[in-house]
Amino acid sequence: MRKKIVAGNWKMNKNLHECILLADDIRAGLEPLPKNQLPTVILAPAFPFLYAVSQTLGVNQSITTSAQNCSSEKSGAYTGEVSVDMIRSTGAKYVIIGHSERRSLFLETEDSIRKKLMVCLEAELAPILCIGEKSEERKEARHFEVVKKQIDSATGNLSPEILSKLVIAYEPVWAIGTGVHASPAQAQEMQAFIRQSFAQSKGMEFSQTLPILYGGSCNPGNAKELFSCKDVDGGLIGGASLNASDFLSIIKAAMDL
């Protein structure tokens, strides 16, 4: 049985003090909950605060940190970039790769996303690979085609062994920051398609253990219904992760299943 994952992407929000307070509130909120039922909880603050948040969380098997992005290069004269070795030295265990905002606002290509995926895997960081279609692509009934291309471009001929740390986050771009969310039926349909795509390319055993998260305007009101879908293994949470109470409610929704 796949363990649920609830990841909070804080994006470009909160200063250092606010990040520490939020992380501490979430950590404290998890303490009274039964450890054997907790999902894996991941917090993704901005780069400057990764170490401080990792230190605030301490050594805890149920909660850890993630970077929101990484450089596709390992080191060198790349002013302003952050390498996977730098990220790993902060205590982070995950890196979000190919988020829709990185694709649309910063023009990340399929090639650069694959390179980032590879450097993460080589550094033994778990990549959270974001994939998903835009509104017009769904309206044109190209959503399966678009998502399949993103999967193939990123994971290509990589073996199941190399991809053992991979996490997928399906984020319908039309549902991010819009207040609109995919219905449970829409989420399940796409996430089942993603799992089947991996079954065909990497084998049934790999596909059945692959965590596939939902990442489009998930909140305390819809989390339980979304997480009850067979192929939804948790969520990549945006705005609702910036409030400890809301985020804890979503975590609890993952525990009720």
Query: Cβ-count burial of 35 within 10 angstroms (0-12 exposed, 13-18 middle, 19+ buried)?
Result: exposed
Phi then psi for 6, rounded to 5 degrees? -125, 115
Q: What is the pLDDT of residue 257?
A: 60
The SS3 assignment for 8 reads strand
Catalogue the active-site residues.
Answer: 99, 171
pLDDT at 179: 66
Q: Which is nearest to 133 in space by CA: 188, 175, 96? A: 175
Residue 50, domain CATH: 3.20.20.70
d(CA 137, CA 207): 25
40 strand-pairing partners: 5
Total domain count, the chain = 1
Q: What is the pTM of this model?
A: 0.96
Q: Residue 58 belongs to what domain range?
A: 5-255
pLDDT given at position 62? 84
Taking phi first (over 0 means left), then psi (-120 to 50 degrees means alpha), and beta for anything else, what does residue 98 get? left
pLDDT reported for residue 43? 98
Q: What is the pLDDT of residue 59?
A: 82
Give the other-Cβ count within 10 Å of 92's Cβ.
26
Tens of pLDDT, residue by residue, the chain (257 residues):
799 999 999 999 999 999 999 999 999 999 999 999 999 999 999 999 999 999 999 987 789 999 999 999 999 999 999 999 999 999 999 999 999 999 999 999 999 999 999 999 999 999 999 999 999 999 999 999 999 999 999 999 999 999 999 999 999 998 876 667 789 999 999 999 999 999 999 999 999 999 999 998 899 999 999 999 999 999 999 999 999 999 999 999 999 76
